[in-house]
Amino acid sequence: MMLGFLLARAGVDVVVLEKHGDFLRDFRGDTIHPSTLELMHELGILADFLQKPHQEVRELGAQIGDEFVMLADFSHLPTHCKFIALMPQWDFLDFLAGHAGRYPGFRLKMRTEVIDLLRDSGQIIGVRAKTPDGIVDIRAGLIVGADGRHSIVREKAGLPFDELGAPMDVLWFRVSRRTGDGEQTFGRISKGKMMVMLNRGDYWQCAYLIRKGDLDQIKHAGLPAFQNDIVSVVPFLRDRMNELRSWDDIKLLTVRVDRLRKWYCPGLLCIGDAAHAMSPIGGVGINLAIQDAVAAANILAPHLAQAGPAVSHLKRVQSRRELPTRITQAVQVFIQNRLIRRVLGSNEQIPTPWPVKLVRRWPALRRVPARIVGIGFRSEHIRV
């Protein structure tokens, strides 16, 4: 959506295809990071964005056993917004679509699911899509696969990838939030269990981590046992467990971390999770996908407005974005293996990890995780 918006703004004809009839899904993360907010400032739409209902997260903390540690402080970032905005992704996508729709070259086709690629002499020249009116073929000078971590585009293009692995999956659910719960968005670690709670105003969006493949065992133990597990991590949720009436209220989100070796082939480019599926750690995947979109627009818009991009231009997008992606994924995999695998693999309380001890001892170090999460590596700026 972001790339479609930027290209249409640069005078390129764009069609964005979305397989669903709306953006109403609550499993893609809700975080809009300071660097993304900065892009909106550069586009002149930040004030409009901040009119929409959202929450502002200025610090991130963790409860490890009995101890609460503040881990990240966004107040020193060199950006206009020194906070993460929490907004349902459907509101954010509707917002971007609304702004993109002001440009004559922008078209959004909902309920249009890409099922195959069209080829001619080794070049991708379009997509085949399923719509309520039947199968349609859509041809374009460039196809961009931005279809997420189960990308059909990259599968059909046969682009090889490296699986970096993830030891966990996430159970995703919401419970009501009450006055007295506190404001903070935070993670909790307690004796073999780990949960992250995002403050969404009148409810908590909860992410409960489980070992990959453990869901059947957890379901077999029964919903009351699962509710007890949640309460053992966050005792103040005890009187709200009846809000989880059945397993239908709890969604399994499978985590994968992988990366394409080559993000492109003639006529096609992948960005976002389609090029590099991100772990939820740090909640940085949306940010990275948007940074890819900005880099792609900056590099490709001038060529798309003319003859169409050559493979060398697509390669430049990968060259620009691969390093920040590699570094971010390396940090995520490090935390997965050093912390999450250890927590989920034992029923003992883990000792406070050394990076947390460092931050506790020297609070100024909270700026480091704030910078990594809030801005990331190699930030992009609007150039077209």
The verdict on 286 binding ligand FAD (CB under 6 A) reads yes
CB atoms within 10 A of CB 200: 20
Residue of 147, 174, 204, 343 interacting with ligand FAD (CB under 6 A): 147
The verdict on 285 binding ligand FAD (CB under 6 A) reads yes
The verdict on 258 binding ligand FAD (CB under 6 A) reads no
The verdict on 367 binding ligand FAD (CB under 6 A) reads no
- Stretch binding ligand FAD (CB under 6 A), from 101-109, 142-150, 301-309, 338-346: 142-150
d(CA 33, CA 35): 5
The verdict on 42 binding ligand FAD (CB under 6 A) reads no
Nearer residue to ligand FAD within complex by CB, 28 or 200: 28
The verdict on 168 binding ligand FAD (CB under 6 A) reads no
By CB atoms closer than 10 A (0-12, 13-18, 19+), residue 342 is: middle
Q: Strands (DSSP E) along the chain, which ranges? A: 14-17, 31-32, 55-57, 59-64, 67-73, 84-86, 106-109, 113-120, 123-131, 134-139, 143-145, 161-163, 168-176, 186-190, 193-199, 203-211, 251-253, 258-260, 264-265, 268-270
Task: Give strand pairing partners of 57.
Answer: 84
d(CA 55, CA 382): 25
Q: Which residue is nearest to ligand FAD (CB)?
A: 285
The verdict on 253 binding ligand FAD (CB under 6 A) reads yes
Torsion over CA of 143, 259, 293 and 313, rounded to 10 degrees?
-60
Residue of 280, 309, 353, 376 interacting with ligand FAD (CB under 6 A): 280
- First-to-last alpha carbon distance for the chain, in angstroms, is 16
Nearer residue to ligand FAD within complex by CB, 283 or 374: 283
Q: How far is the CB of 286 from ligand FAD (least distance, A)?
A: 3
The verdict on 164 binding ligand FAD (CB under 6 A) reads no
Residue of 8, 9, 18, 331 interacting with ligand FAD (CB under 6 A): 18
Please give the size of the binding site for ligand FAD, defined by CB under 6 A. Answer: 28
DSSP string, 212-264: TT-HHHHHHH-HHHHHHHHHHH-GGGGGGGGG--SGGGSEEE----EEES--E
Q: How far is the CB of 325 from ligand FAD (least distance, A)?
A: 11
Q: How far is the CB of 284 from ligand FAD (least distance, A)?
A: 5
Nearer residue to ligand FAD within complex by CB, 36 or 298: 36
Torsion region of 180: left, alpha or beta (phi above 0 gives left; psi -120 to 50 gives alpha): left
Q: How far is the CB of 374 from ligand FAD (least distance, A)?
A: 11
- Which stretches of the chain bind ligand FAD, using CB under 6 A? 17-20, 28-31, 113-114, 146-148, 152, 170, 253, 255, 272-274, 278, 280, 283-287, 289
